[in-house]
Structures are given as structure tokens and as C-alpha cells.
A and B are shown apart, each in its own frame.
Chain A
Amino acid sequence: MAGPGELLLRQPSEDTLTLVLSGRWNLGEALPSAEEVRQKVESAPQLRQIAFDTEKLSDWDTGLLTFLTRLRKLYAGSQIRLDSSGLPEGARQLLALAAAVPEEKGARKAEGKVSFLTLLGNETVGFFQSGGELLEFVGDATVAFWDLLRGKASYRRSDLWLIMEACGGQALPIVSLISFLVGLILAFVGAIQLEMFGAEIYVADLVGIAMVRLMAAIMTGIVMAGRTGGAFAAQLGTMQVNQEIDALKTLGISPMQFLVLPRMLALALMMPLLSLYANIMGILGGLVVAVSILDISFIEYYNETVKAVGMWNLWIGLFSSAVFGVIVALSGCMRGMQCGRSASAVGEAATSAVVTAIVGIIVATAIITLATNVLGI
């Protein structure tokens, strides 16, 4: 069994260097590098030719070929000629094949450094473009909704029911868990503070108002952004990759009406219901803490909650959740429709849908809070 590849440099005459290759020249072995040859060549300026002796070469594969192509690159255009006649027949043919089609000029991608200003400019232009796209998409969605109101939108009722089931009923377990725990946490945090004033009973006010007015809607919104917004983006993105959306367009069916509208409707209808359910679960969470730790009775807690939570709070919460539903659906669908035609683009679309939705929810919450403040409700 021959050892790993070895390289011997011999200089039979003034202008010729012979590389004696022996052993196994296989990829992954510790092979001699072309650098050795280069140093030798530099020390002997009268060299004009490099020849090969492969008598003792026992085995070779791509390892040998990369060594040879590196040599060829080193001495392309120089005075030194590579005499490949000493190489194995197969290696010679492969080398010739690799050289048969010359590198296409301009095909290699330029890796020039981009200046900071260029980068800043590109990013800024990109930001405004994506803002424009967002507005355009919202506009298209509004037109589709208007068509729906006029009874002219074409979508399948069965799709709407399916999506409503997927983003409504099937989301109940996760929404239950999250909102129950949020209620529990709110009660705990509040209890510690309120106990200092002997005002434990107001835990019910705290949990009730926080959940109904704000927290239930936000928490459901964020859960739905991750659960359903991402799914919408991935679905539509994959449809984009498979040309299914092109197929809709060439049949004259508007993807906006056929795909986006039912998703938007389903979420806008389901979100308030989920949010209502989250209210109950959150208050239940608070109740568990109050009854088990603060010695407040069930009836006391119930009465206090009913007294504290006004109708306005409920309406504001439900309104917010409907808005969040539209935001989650729009960002999911928009990223899906903008998706490129590759697997990684689908992943990016899903990620970006979730991020867009969460940012949208937070911004919308701020606006709604400000507005209710100004209106005094």
C-alpha cells in the first residue's frame, strides 16, 4: 500500500524542472502544495519548462487536478511552459476539458467594496420603496374589500371557512395558555404592590381592566402574528414559487380577491372572538391567584371585576383586536405575495411577515391608546 502523495523536485537540465509525483494524490490526504514549486521556480530564473514524472503515482483524483490547475494558473501567461506529457492520460484529458471553455468575461461577480454612502443611499431608497409597496398593497386590499361589499369579489366561500377554522378554533389552546398565564402574572405582580396598602381586592380591577382593554388583544395579536401571519406568508410564498399565483393571474382571477381577501376577512372576524375568549381566560388566571393567595372569595372577585370593567373597555379591546387581525393578515399576505422564487425566499417572507405584524401591532396600540386618551374614554 503506497503512502500519501509526495513531491520531489528534480532539475535534469538548466531550463527544465521535473516534478516527480509518487504515492496517493487523493483529496483529503496531506498533499504537497504548489507553493513548493513556486519557490523553486523563483530561485531558478532560467527555468522555461515544467515536466512531470508520474511513474510512481499509485492513485489520483481531484486532489491531483487541483494541484495541477493551481500550477497552470500560476504560470499562465508567463515564460514557463507546462509539459503535461508525463501526466496520466485521464488527468491530461480532464485538464484539457477544464480549459476547453474559457472563463466568460464579466461572468464572475464583482466583489468590490461598497462605500458607506452608497450603502446608506441604497438602504434609504429601499426603505421608501418598501413603504410605497406597503401603501400600494393596502390600497389594493381596500379595493378588493370594496369589491366584496359590492358583491363583486371572487373567492371561494369554502376557503373562507377553512381559514376561519385554522386561525380561529385551532388557535384556542395556545391562546388559552398564554392569556391565562398573562392574567396570572398580572395578578401576582399587582398583588405584591397592593398588599402593602391592604388593597388586595383591587387586583380584580387591575387584571380586569388590563386584560379587557389591552393585554388580551395584544397577546392574541402577537400569538396570531407568529402562528397565522407566518403561515400565510409561507403559503402564499410557496404558491409564488410554484407559479400558482401566475396561474391565477393568467386566468384573470385577482390574487388579491382570491387569496388575500378571505385571509383578511377570516382574521378580522376571528380575532375579536379570540380576544373575547382571552379576556375570560385572563380574568380566570387573576381569579386563581386572588382566591388561592390573597384570600379573596370568588364572589368578591367577580363583583369587583364587574364593577371595574366598563363597556368602553370591552369595545376598545375588541376594536383593537379587529385592527390587529387586519394587520397580521395584511403583513402575512403582503410578504407572501412579494416572495421571491426560492426556498430561502419563503423563509425570509415568513420571518419578515412576523416582524412586520408585531411592529404593526405595537404601533397600532400606541395610536389607539393616544386616541382614546384624547377622546377621554
Chain B
Amino acid sequence: MEDKSPHIIINDLTMAYGDFVVMHDLNFTINRGDIFIVMGGSGCGKSTMMTIMIGLKTPAKGQVFYGDVDFWGSDHDTRDRIIRNAGVMYQGGALWSSMTLAENVALPLEQYTGLGAGEIRDVVELKLALVGLAGFEEFYPSEISGGMQKRAGIARAMALDPEVLFFDEPSAGLDPVSARRLDDLILQLSESLGTTMVVVTHELASIFAIGNNSVFLDASIRTMTATGNPKNLLAETKDPTLRLFLTRGEKS
């Protein structure tokens, strides 16, 4: 039976750049084991939402709870500890370009585990194999394709077996087949590891294929208008903006 206890709680959150409020009054809960989609039109603040959850940007108001710990209310060390339990796949992969794929995945292991060089090598090979990149250990990020970079980014994010994985626009810039394979990978990882996944995306195909919970950020009124399973939202919503978004602009 799946454990459905709350993992990340967003409480009364407002995010802003200076005086410019991007989104206000956000309240939603991400449960353990969810594949949670943060969706919305371009420029609605999806990625900003993620930067706040992973500790790169301070919210203007409100709290982010990991379990029952108030993330932004804690001291630096606590935040560090929490965020070490989260893996992030950035939009462009954000692999360290001066290191090989193996070194990229190995770095967090070297930092935080007492493993020896041989053991680290084994873990690195395993993680890269999980994302379909076995044999590419000694390649530099610039020598592989964009889709492979993203997958390597996932391998690095998974290096420390995090409790939650964040994905920033995983299918952006990928051909349909690679995007589908990435979706499948996210699903498989979620099923086998039980990791909570937070996916920032506006790709409808991905949203319906992988998401079992979501929040919709409406750029026009600068707040969230719905949360829940995207399939149910499509079936039940009366909100014209959300309906338009979920049906790719088709008129019902």
C-alpha cells in the first residue's frame, strides 16, 4: 500500500522578483510517492516555484514545509541537510562541463559518503546504466546529445538516493521519442524507488502520462486555480483557462 503522508507542503506562498509579484496565495500538498506536476503557461512562474522549493530563491511570503520542518524558517545547516535529500534535474542538464559523466555523478558521492574509489565507481556505473547511459562514463557533457545530458543530469540527481527528485521541463527541447523515453524513465524510477517526483512542465502528453497529482498556476490572475490528478481535473474542471490548457486550446 502506498504511503500517502504529506512530503512537501506549500503554505500561503507568495513569490516575487523585487516588487513584481509572480504568484500569490499558493497552498498545496505534495504527498510521498507522488509524481506531482507543476503546470501552467509559459512565464507563469513554474520554474520559480521550483527554485523556491530547492532553496535557490527566498519566497516573498509564506512557508515551504518538508515533512514538518519549515524549510525557509530553518538555519543554513538544516536547509543544507534537507536539500541534500533532494535531487534536481535542471532544464539543460547543468552537468559540470569540466568533468566527465562519471565524475559528475561521483562528486556528490565523494562529498557525502565514505565510500572508497572502487565502490563509487560501481555506484556511478549503476546510476548511469539506470538512465541508459552505460558505457558513456568517460564522455564529457559537450560530447553527448541534449537528451543524453538530461538523462545524465537525472543520474547525478539520483546519486545520493534522494527522497524527492525535481525535474525542470524534462521534455523541453527533446524529440517525441526521447521525451517519451524520459517520461517512462520517470515512471519506472517512481514505481521502483517510491521517490517523490516533482515535475515542472507544460507538455500535455507528459502531464497525462506520468502525473498523479498536480497544481495549475494561472498566469492571468497570478495564483493557482486547481490541484489534483490532472486526469480528474480534465474531467471535472469548470475553469475555462484550465480546460483550455488541458485540451490544447480546443473548444469544447
Contact = CB atoms under 8 A, between A and B. Distances in A.
Interface of A: 154, 156, 238-239, 242-244, 246-253
User: How extensive is the interface on chain B, given as a class?
Assistant: 20 to 34
Given A253-B107, A253-B111, A242 B83 contact: no
A244 B94 contact: yes
B97 A244 contact: yes
B111 A251 contact: yes
Interface of B: 51, 54-56, 80-81, 83-84, 86, 88, 90-92, 94-97, 107-108, 111-112, 156, 160
A356 B56 CA distance: 27
B108 A251 contact: yes
Contacts of B91: 243
Contact of B83 (A154, A244, A250): A250
Give the secondary structure class of B's interface: mixed
B90 A246 contact: yes
Contacts of B51: 246
B86 A243 contact: no
Contacts of A249: 55-56
A247 B96 CA distance: 8
B94 A252 contact: no
A251 B94 contact: no
A244 B88 contact: no
A204 to B, nearest CB: 46
A156, A247, A248 — which one has the most chain B CB atoms within 10 A of its CB?
Answer: A247
Contacts of B156: 247
A290 to B, nearest CB: 47
Nearest to B77: A252
A248 B54 CA distance: 12
A114 B90 CA distance: 39
B55 A243 contact: no
A156 B96 CA distance: 13
Contacts of A156: 107
B55 A250 contact: yes
A238 B141 CA distance: 14
A243 B92 contact: yes
Nearest to A246: B56
Given A238-B97, A243-B90, 6 more contacts: A244-B94, A246-B94, A247-B156, A250-B55, A250-B83, A252-B84
B90 A247 contact: yes
Contact of B84 (A238, A244, A246, A251): A251
Contacts of A154: 111
A247 B94 contact: yes
